[in-house]
Amino acid sequence: MPRFLAIFESVCQTMAYAHSRGVIHRDLKPSNVMVGSFGEVQVMDWGLAKVLPSGGAVDDQAVQRNEPEPVLSVIRTARSDADASQAGSILGTPGYMAPEQARGEVELVDERADVFGLGAILCEILTGEAAFTGRTVGETQRKAARGDLAEAFGRLEGCGADPELIALAKDCLAPERDDRPRQAGQVATRITAYLTGVQERLRKAELARVEANARAEEEKKRRRLTVALAASILALVTVGGGAAAWQIQERQAQLAKVETTLARIQTLRDQAAADGADSARWGTVLAAADEALGSLGALAASSPAAAWPHYARRLPRNRHRPSATG
């Protein structure tokens, strides 16, 4: 589709130039458009072309007054030896002919007939068929003469093309010539504006895609960073929790050892008190007290908040051997 529309734009520009020089083609159709191997576009077969009077189109006011058509120049080729400007002559291809041309109203055929042909070409680009179709050439020509475009408009409405293209095709195919664009230059302007708009939309879509990809990549980076930070925090918590658990277990072991030593001291003290002044037993008590003090020192170094005064009160207050009385 983009390639066909670019070709169609070139055809419109070609006809815009011809119309600016007062020449109409009168047989525009896809088979008269040739595209070269390198993209060059040529509008062919000007055998039915006609040079309009100086100043542009046929004098519409003279036609309305039923005055005879002025003598015009006719471009003649080998296929157009007959006079192509005689009233009642039907020349062209029915599927692409403007209604006034299909009715043989030669005096009404001007640039707007070529505009109709451009619309018929665009209709075929969009729908795959010409403006007028029929089982026979005669049926197609009768539809063209009546300007029966209901089928073509229905196909355009259902083709799925952009609204701008459908509107342009329908404007060019207006049954009444006064409802069509005046010259091919106006058609060229509209198709060029459409193609420029398409390129702009494509450019914006590409920029939006690039921005979306950049945002997605940035979001991925943020997520990876978040996951890494979460893993680090989890590792720290795990390590810290393990260390804290180890410290708790270590303190509990030290406390248990202190408790055991204190219980042993209590037992030894009771035994020493019962034996009176037996220095050997009191020596054992003092040795056990020294051991308890060492354990409490280690516990206080690892946890200053430990219940040091509580345990200290339970130890003997001096290392002198007690007297026999106490």
Task: List the catalytic residues.
Answer: 27
Q: What CA–CA distance (Å, rounded) separates 132 from 155? A: 11
Question: Tokens 């006079």 sit at which residue?
Answer: 83
Surface-to-core class of residue 142, CB atoms within 10 Å of its CB (0-12 exposed, 13-18 middle, 19+ buried): middle
Q: What CA–CA distance (Å, rounded) separates 98 from 89? A: 14
Pair 262, 292: CB distance under 8 Å: yes
What are the strands, taking DSSP E only, across the chain? 23-24, 33-35, 41-43, 50-51, 73-74
Q: Hey, what are 266's tokens?
A: 């209590």
The region, left, alpha or beta by phi > 0 then psi within -120 to 50, assigned to residue 233 is alpha
Residue type (1 letter), 319 = R
Nearest residue to 289 via CA among 271, 309, 263:
263
Provide the 3-class DSSP secondary structure of residue 217: helix
DSSP string, 89-144: ---S-GGG--HHHHTT-GGG-SHHHHHHHHHHHHHHHHHSS-SS--SSHHHHHHHH
Element (H, E) at 81: none
Pair 306, 259: CB distance under 8 Å: no
Question: Tokens 């339970």 sit at which residue?
Answer: 314
Provide the 3-class DSSP secondary structure of residue 73: strand
DSSP state of 51: E
